[in-house]
Amino acid sequence: MQTVRLGGTGLEISSVVLGMMSYGDPDRGSHAWSVGIDQARPFVRRAFDAGITAFDTANVYSAGSSEEITGTLLRELGPREDVQVFTKVFNRMRPGRNGAGLSRVAIMHEIDASLQRLGTDYVDLYQIHRFDPQTPIAETMEALHDVVKSGKARYIGASSMWAWQFAEMQHTAELHDWTKFVSMQDQYNLLEREEEREMHPFCEQSGVGVIPWSPLARGKVTRPWDSAGSGSRSDTDEFGKTLYRQDEDANRTIVGEVQQIAEDRGVSMAQVALAWVAGKSAVTAPIIGATKEHHIDDAVAASAITLTDDEVTRLESAYTPRVPSGF
């Protein structure tokens, strides 16, 4: 597995990140499709043995149990410094006042809660899960700066938002000489490419690494368009049901090209779709989920695939502009 630097930093991570949202207590939170620690263990071990050392979770995943599982399983792999742990803050974690958002109160409480669940003194990357329009940007950025200076996070990152919001947050940090974001975790795949318009050019120009979520479009680019997904997630993932519903004729054509290129190369559709994402200059490392062994095998194999210019053109030509989704 290739080693890459996260944006303009010196932080070395694997060129694929394992997303931990699939692992958690299905009876906690809204992820009824998540799997418990015993089912998660072989996937995490398989990923690590394949060279994947970066693991991404969030406080809200399965109401904190994803962080608990992540911390337990990563400690089984070896020394803390052998892995890079990413988590996030923003969503509601407790009832009442200050139980969600990006206020100083919420951030300071949630970083300590995340560290306790993860069983570590620090996270390598602490990300804001979404933009908080209710909290002054300066308050958020100063609090995140203090988290880094306290040693509880090595770097900070952001996730899906409008490019102007991200630019404003970066500008605020720069004005005050506070810690700036080093990464953007946004939705990016063959069926959702709107980040190419503003966010990715801004990230490339400013040295911010991009670690996309859902690089396989919730599995829709890994199988023929009319094939149903397997497993409970396709039936119970309410958030996922809101995605990739625009211009289904174009999506069908794109997926058809993925299928044809995969057949021509003798590889899986997932490998082709992941190779396309990873081949983009703005992208540092895609975040993949794994609930089957071949998910990790496909991700590793995709890192060795370089698509031809003709293949890229075929994959991209049917795409149509659409309203950004996912945030």
Give the domain CATH number at 115.
3.20.20.100
Over residues 179-185, the mean pLDDT reads: 98
pLDDT at 1 over 80: yes
Decide if 323 is inside a domain.
Answer: no
Asked whether residue 326 is assigned to any structural domain, the reply reads: no
Whether 327 is covered by a domain: the verdict is no
The predicted pLDDT at position 32 comes to 86
Give the per-residue pLDDT at 246: 84
- The DSSP result for 64-130, as a single string, is GHHHHHHHHHHHHHS-GGGSEEEEEE-S--SSSTTSSSSSHHHHHHHHHHHHHHHTSS-EEEEEESS
What is the structure's pLDDT at 326?
Answer: 83
- Percent share of the chain, pLDDT over 70: 95
pLDDT at 241: 67
Give residue 243's pLDDT.
Answer: 75
pTM: 0.94
Q: Give me the pLDDT at residue 220, please.
A: 95
pLDDT for residue 315 is more than 90 = yes
Which pLDDT belongs to residue 217?
A: 96
In a domain, 244, yes or no: yes
Answer yes or no: is 308 within a domain.
yes
Among residues 61, 126, 155, 244, the one annotated as catalytic is 61
In a domain, 324, yes or no: no
* 61: annotated active-site residue: yes
Identify whether 25 is part of a domain: yes
Of 233 and 117, the structure prediction assigns the larger pLDDT to 117
Mean pLDDT of 41-59: 97
The number of domains in the chain is: 1
pLDDT given for residue 29 in this prediction = 78
For residue 99, the enclosing domain spans 3-316
Task: Kindly state whether residue 129 falls inside one of the protein's structural domains.
Answer: yes
253-256 LR contacts (CB < 8 Å, sep 24+)? 253/318, 254/190, 254/191, 254/221, 254/315, 254/318, 254/319, 255/190, 255/220, 255/221, 255/224, 255/225, 256/224, 256/225
More reliable by pLDDT, 299 or 32: 299
